[in-house]
Structures are given as C-alpha cells and as structure tokens.
C-alpha cells in the first residue's frame, strides 16, 4: 500500500526509513504543541482548545502535504505568525481573537490564489535575498524579546525603557536553565532537544512545587471554544488590509524558503526541475484555511523537517507518520496544561537564535542591500511589531535604491509591497 501511495522504491527509500524520518521530524518540531497554546493564550483563547487545534491543524497540514505533494515535510502553526497574531493583531491592534482568525482565513484564501496564479513565485523572485534574510532574522529577534520578557530576564524600566530583571527569581532561573539545557542537547545532536528542555523544566517545576501535577494521559480537551469561531466580517474592517498583507508576506518568506531548502536537500528539487514544488505550495496554502477554522494561527512548513530528510525521508509517508504522532499527542493534554510559560520561553529564545543565522545571507558589502535588511530586523523587536519591521524594510529598500540611482535593481514586486505599506501609513495610520 505504501509503495503504491508514495512510490518508495522510485524515491530510493523504504517504509522503515520513512517511519524513522517521521519520528525524527516530529520530535524536533513537537515543541509547538506546548508553545503555541502558551503564546495564543495571551489573547484570552482557551488553552485546551488551542492544544487540540494545534495538534489537529498540524496533522491536517501534514496529511495534505503527504497526499497532494508526496513530500517529507511537516507542517504546524507558525512560530512568528502566532506571535504576530497574539501580540500585534490582538493585543496591539485590538482586534478580537475571532477577527484575527478571520484575517488568517482571508490570508489563506489570498495565499491559495497567488499560489495557483503563480504570483507567489513572482513575489519571491522579486524580493532581494538580503531583505528576505533580514525579515527572517527580525522575526527571530521579535520572538527573542517575547521570550526574554516572558521569562522575566527583561523588564520595563522608566529611565532606560527596558532593563534587567531579577535573575534570582526562581522562575527566571528555571527559564535560563531551560535555555542552557536545550542548547546543550542540540549541540550534542539529541533528537527533540527543544521538547526535552521544555519537559525537563516542567518536571523540575512539579518536583519543587511551582506547578501542580495533573496526570499524563487523558481524553483530549474540547476544541469547541475555538472551533469555527472565526469572524470574517469583523476582520473586514479598517486595518485588516495591513494585517492581511503581513500574514501573506511572512507566510511567503517562511514557507516558500523552507520548502525549497528542504526539498533541495532531499533531491526533490533541482535548478532545472522544480519537481512537485507547485503542489507543495498549494498544500501549504490550503492548510492555512484549515487552521483558521480549527481556531489557531497560520500553519506553515517547518524547517525542522530537515532532520527527517537527514534521516532518509523522501516521500509523503514521512509526513503521514508526523500527522499520526500529532494525533496521538492529543491524549497527553494534562502535560500541556501544566507546562508553565517560563518553560516555553527558552524554546522561543532558542528558535530566535537559530533564525538569526539568516543574517549571513545579507550582502553586507552593499549598503543598499544591507541597510534595509538591518532596518527590517531591528524594527521588529523595538517596535514590537513584525508588521512595522516589514514595512520599514521594504520602504527603505525602495527609497535607498531609488536615491542611489539604482532604479533597475528595484523589482516591481518590491515596489508594489513598498507602495502598499506607504498607503497604509498615510491613510490607515492606526
């Protein structure tokens, strides 16, 4: 059956190899089960429903990827877009979480359209690598500031805006310890290092009485508090344009680059042959619609899928294994319920550190490329908004290129995005 469905022999793999690859990828990305409810829970959404929505959205995304594209890529709610959803759209722009889910749905529809029409590839081709890298690094810095604040390492300070928190606080100490555990385990190439770090700090918290143990296995919580609660009409209000364009742009940068990179490593894509890239992009786009209905932020391809590819994964069977494991995780909700924020903060901070590696792709010897990338990266944490970072990055890119007389370097895609952001600031400043 697996041979017929996924053409294992043709791809030079076996069912056993695909099973191992799926388990490997799941272990490296399953931290999202605990982190996503913690981030989105800041909006007032029910954490139990978020836990279920995270697992089910990930499973559906993986299954779509498996049977539409036959690629070994795992999908789950995006790290970055979940923070944008919670801290910028809901807490910053004062959308209700139902309206934010409506924005996710609309962005998913737009994403499907631009994927089917080929606009998505046109946008990717038209946006400079330096700027794309700066945006990814900026999202990492945004996650980093959230992690540092959540863990109590960074606090508000009237004199200096921000300052150092109380490092003797037990919860802050546990967050620092968790970060060191995750980093050390990953340095030793231990599979599931982030997940193990979260669980280690949670266990330590139980032992020392910081949290109350509530069991390990139970039936899944109800998904009803968030299921089909998206408010599309509410999202179609002033300011939604700004939200939608950011969702779409971040999804384009994150998912497209991730999938191309992993597929290239797996030998599924070459410069001469795009393989099933079109199908994979469509699968990724469709999964976003499912996320909004289930009650969570946008689903996207995970770079952690590279670990499964490294273990030999080459077909959609790897993605099916990941999906099954996410569904099995539904029965471990008691663990998710007791994981404290200071146990997930180290995971956020570590992911932030990994995303900063993108800065090596910036053309630092070309000021017209490096400065816009740096502005995009710096603006995101300092304005506490991915949207502002994107806007400042694109606008500065076009402005600096134009004022330097390098008009030919400005691709229509970059110019279009910059103009859209200018329109937003002029006519919709709030």
The DSSP bridge partners found for residue 75 are 301
Is residue 252 over pLDDT 80? Answer: no
- 290/226 Cα distance (integer angstroms): 13
- 275/268 Cα distance (integer angstroms): 6
pLDDT at 19: 92
Tens digits of per-residue pLDDT, 40-52?
999 999 999 999 9
The DSSP bridge partners found for residue 299 are 77
pTM score of the predicted model: 0.85
Is residue 305 over pLDDT 70? Answer: yes
Region 85-113 average pLDDT: 91
Tell how many helices (H) and how many strands (E) occur in the chain: 21, 4
Looking at per-residue pLDDT, the higher value among 274 and 152 belongs to 152
Q: Could you tell me if 348 and 339 are in contact, meaning their C-beta atoms sit under 8 angstroms apart?
A: no
Q: Would you list the DSSP string of 116-156? A: HTTHHHHHHHHS-HHHHHHHHHHHHHHHHHHHHHHTTSEEE
Tens digits of per-residue pLDDT, 158-178?
888 889 999 999 999 999 999
């Amino acid at each position: 059956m697996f041979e017929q469905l996924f053409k294992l022999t043709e791809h030079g793999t076996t069912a056993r190899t695909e099973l191992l690859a799926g388990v490997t990828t799941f272990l490296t990305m399953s931290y999202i089960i605990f982190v996503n409810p913690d981030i989105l829970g800041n909006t007032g959404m029910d954490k139990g429903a978020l836990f279920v929505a995270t697992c089910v959205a990930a499973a559906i995304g993986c299954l779509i990827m498996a049977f539409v594209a036959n690629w070994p890529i795992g999908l789950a709610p995006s790290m970055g877009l979940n923070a944008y959803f919670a801290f910028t759209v809901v807490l910053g722009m004062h959308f209700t979480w139902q309206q934010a889910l409506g924005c996710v749905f609309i962005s998913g529809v737009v994403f499907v359209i631009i994927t089917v029409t080929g606009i998505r590839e046109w946008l990717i081709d038209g946006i400079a690598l330096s700027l794309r890298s700066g945006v990814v690094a900026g999202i990492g810095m945004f996650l980093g500031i959230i992690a540092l604040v959540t863990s109590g390492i960074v606090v508000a300070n009237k004199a200096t805006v921000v300052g150092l928190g109380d490092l003797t606080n037990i919860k802050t100490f546990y967050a620092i310890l968790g970060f060191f555990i995750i980093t050390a385990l990953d340095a030793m190439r231990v599979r599931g290092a982030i997940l193990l770090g979260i669980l280690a700090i949670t266990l330590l918290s139980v032992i020392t009485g910081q949290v109350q143990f509530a069991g390990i296995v139970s039936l899944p919580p109800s998904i009803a508090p968030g299921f089909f609660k998206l408010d599309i009409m509410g999202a179609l209000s002033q300011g939604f344009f700004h939200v939608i364009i950011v969702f779409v742009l971040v999804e384009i940068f994150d998912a497209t680059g991730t999938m191309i990179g992993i597929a290239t490593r797996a030998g599924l894509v070459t410069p001469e042959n795009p393989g099933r890239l079109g199908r994979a992009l469509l699968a990724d786009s469709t999964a976003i619609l499912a996320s909004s209905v289930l009650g969570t932020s946008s689903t996207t391809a995970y770079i952690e899928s590279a670990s499964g590819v490294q273990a030999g994964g080459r077909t959609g069977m790897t993605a099916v294994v990941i999906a099954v494991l996410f569904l099995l995780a539904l029965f471990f909700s008691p663990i998710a319920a007791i994981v404290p924020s200071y146990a997930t903060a180290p995971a956020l901070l570590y992911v932030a550190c990994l995303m900063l590696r993108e800065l090596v792709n910036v053309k630092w010897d070309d000021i017209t490329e490096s400065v816009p990338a740096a502005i995009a990266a710096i603006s995101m944490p300092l304005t506490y908004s991915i949207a502002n970072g994107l806007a400042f990055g694109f606008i500065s890119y076009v402005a600096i290129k134009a004022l330097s007389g390098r008009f030919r370097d400005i691709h229509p895609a970059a110019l279009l995005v910059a103009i859209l952001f200018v329109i937003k600031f002029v006519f919709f400043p709030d």
